């Protein structure tokens, strides 16, 4: 039995295997509303045999969007559009549909990446907020430091977005606490220079993300899983977060009812020095899993079936998230199932494409029907 193709139960949600479509920003929304591009992008994975399909970073208010092209879930039009996509995805296979809820903090109000991704200037720009009034980089806008009223508003927006996600038919939520966005900005000493109860020591810096998680968990249905993407390292030696910080944060999340953590890294500082390579973030997930026992997801340059199999089989992570690999080969799970002798869901319309060995396409179809 392939470990990669074993189902995983998270509360009432069954993931048919351990392969996850990682959230990938498409920067193609208009006023935060998913459109035909998102329906095609996400819909093509409905029959790909994955364990979980996760929509890209979806922002809880307009000011929290990374770019003007980013998705949102803060009004009824957006909610209805997500509901249509969720229905499409779940109509044609057993793969649950997830969403990543986010707020970009000081990294908001940026241009589209194919236009350079720099801080917007002039009438297109909007006010951004952050733990401290420190710009992300030289040439970036100075964010407004969040006061108590602003913190409460952000928390309410996350709670509201979770309610909309539930009504839209979303099965699982991941809160975005990495990549230099708002929650990560609070946790990292690089971006958080506050002197109140939300700044200073590690316990204080974790406080606001944990408060938001707890508030969302309180309204998100008990039978549905909730987790967070967290940071394994800021990759800024001597200044930023390291793996012990990730372990401490994951342990607190677990106490509050988190069902999983998705361990990534970097993004909070232009000073980062990232050592990339195949599976370069797996050791972060492995350390968190070993120390806390929480279900972990890993991501980053995982491209080959045997590589993904070893990660799960050796207990380094429970789930393997893929982005570029699934963009290059949407039916990667089929290839992995062939290589690892795993079982994967295939829609009857596509069964002819699964003919192997001595079986003819007709025999494959007849076996499935029987």
Structure token pair of residue 89: 């995805």
Degrees, nearest 5: CA angle 105-271-202: 60
pLDDT at 37 over 70: yes
Model pLDDT, residue 260: 98
- The residue-averaged pLDDT of 326-331 equals 96
Percentage of the chain beyond pLDDT 90 is 93
- The residue-averaged pLDDT of 241-269 equals 98
pLDDT at 357 over 90: no
Average pLDDT, the chain: 95
Among 247-251, 280-284, 364-368, the least confident range: 364-368
| CA gap 234, 123 in Å, rounded | 33
| CA gap 341, 44 in Å, rounded | 23
Model pLDDT, residue 78: 98
Residue given tokens 């800024």 in the structure block: 236
Residue given tokens 């069902």 in the structure block: 259
pLDDT classification of 306: cutoffs 50, 70, 90: very high
| β-sheet bridge partners, residue 15 | 8
Pairing mode of beta strands 296-299, 319-322: parallel
Structure token pair of residue 61: 């208010």
| CA gap 94, 18 in Å, rounded | 13
Q: Active-site residue numbers?
A: 181
Burial group, residue 360, by CB count within 10 angstroms (0-12, 13-18, 19+): exposed
Model pLDDT, residue 233: 98
pLDDT at 111 over 90: yes
Closest C-alpha among 189, 282, 194 to residue 236 = 189
Among 148-152, 180-184, 348-352, the least confident range: 348-352
pLDDT at 188 over 50: yes
Q: DSSP for 7-75?
A: -EEETTEEESSSEEE--------BTTB--HHHHHHHHTTTTTT-SEEEEEEEESSGGG-SSTT-EE-SS
| β-sheet bridge partners, residue 261 | 228, 296
Domains and CATH numbers, the chain: 8-369 (3.20.20.70)
pTM above 0.75, yes or no: yes
| CA gap 55, 43 in Å, rounded | 11
- The residue-averaged pLDDT of 103-114 equals 98
pLDDT at 360 over 70: no
Model pLDDT, residue 370: 47
- The residue-averaged pLDDT of 33-54 equals 97
Model pLDDT, residue 354: 77
Pairing mode of beta strands 144-145, 13-15: unpaired
Model pLDDT, residue 362: 53
| CA gap 335, 354 in Å, rounded | 10
pLDDT tens for each residue of 114-159: 999 999 999 999 999 999 999 999 999 999 999 999 999 999 999 9
pLDDT at 257 over 60: yes
pLDDT at 103 over 90: yes
Degrees, nearest 5: CA angle 241-190-203: 60
Structure token pair of residue 283: 């050791």
| β-sheet bridge partners, residue 247 | none
- The residue-averaged pLDDT of 15-21 equals 98
Q: Quick check: 333 and 50 in contact, CB under 8 A?
A: yes
pLDDT at 368 over 90: no
| CA gap 165, 322 in Å, rounded | 23
pLDDT at 352 over 90: no
């Amino acid at each position: 039995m392939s470990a990669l193709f074993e189902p995983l139960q998270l509360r009432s949600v069954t993931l048919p295997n351990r392969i996850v479509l990682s959230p990938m920003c498409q920067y193609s929304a208009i006023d935060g509303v998913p459109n035909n591009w998102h329906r095609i992008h996400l819909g093509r994975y409905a029959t790909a045999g994955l364990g979980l399909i996760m929509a890209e970073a979806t922002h809880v208010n307009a000011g929290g969007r990374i770019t003007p092209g980013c998705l949102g879930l803060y009004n009824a039009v957006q909610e209805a559009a997500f509901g249509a996509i969720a229905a499409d995805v779940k109509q044609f296979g057993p793969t649950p549909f997830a969403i990543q809820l986010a707020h970009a903090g000081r990294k908001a109000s940026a241009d589209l990446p194919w236009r350079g991704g720099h801080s917007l200037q002039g009438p297109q720009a909007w006010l951004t907020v952050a733990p401290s009034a420190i710009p992300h980089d030289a040439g970036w806008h100075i964010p407004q430091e969040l006061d108590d009223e602003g913190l409460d508003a952000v928390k309410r927006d996350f709670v509201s977005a979770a309610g909309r996600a539930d009504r839209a038919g979303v099965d699982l939520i991941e809160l975005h606490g990495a990549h230099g966005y708002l929650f990560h900005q609070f946790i990292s000493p690089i971006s958080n220079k506050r002197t109140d109860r939300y700044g200073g020591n590690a316990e204080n810096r974790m406080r606001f993300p944990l408060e938001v998680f707890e508030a969302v968990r309180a309204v998100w249905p008990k039978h549905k899983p909730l987790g967070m993407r967290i940071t394994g390292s800021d990759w800024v030696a001597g200044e930023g977060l390291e793996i012990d910080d990730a372990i401490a944060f994951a342990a607190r999340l677990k106490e509050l009812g988190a069902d999983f953590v998705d361990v990534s890294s970097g993004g909070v500082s232009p000073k980062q020095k990232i050592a990339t390579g195949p599976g370069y973030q797996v050791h972060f997930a492995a350390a968190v899993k070993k120390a806390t026992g929480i279900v972990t997801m890993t991501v980053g340059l995982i491209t080959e079936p045997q590589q993904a199999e070893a990660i799960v089989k050796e207990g380094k992570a429970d789930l393997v998230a893929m982005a570029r690999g699934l963009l290059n080969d949407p039916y990667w799970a089929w290839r992995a199932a062939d290589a690892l002798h795993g079982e994967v869901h295939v829609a009857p319309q596509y069964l002819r494409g699964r003919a192997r060995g001595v079986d003819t396409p007709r025999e494959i179809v007849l076996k499935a029907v029987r």
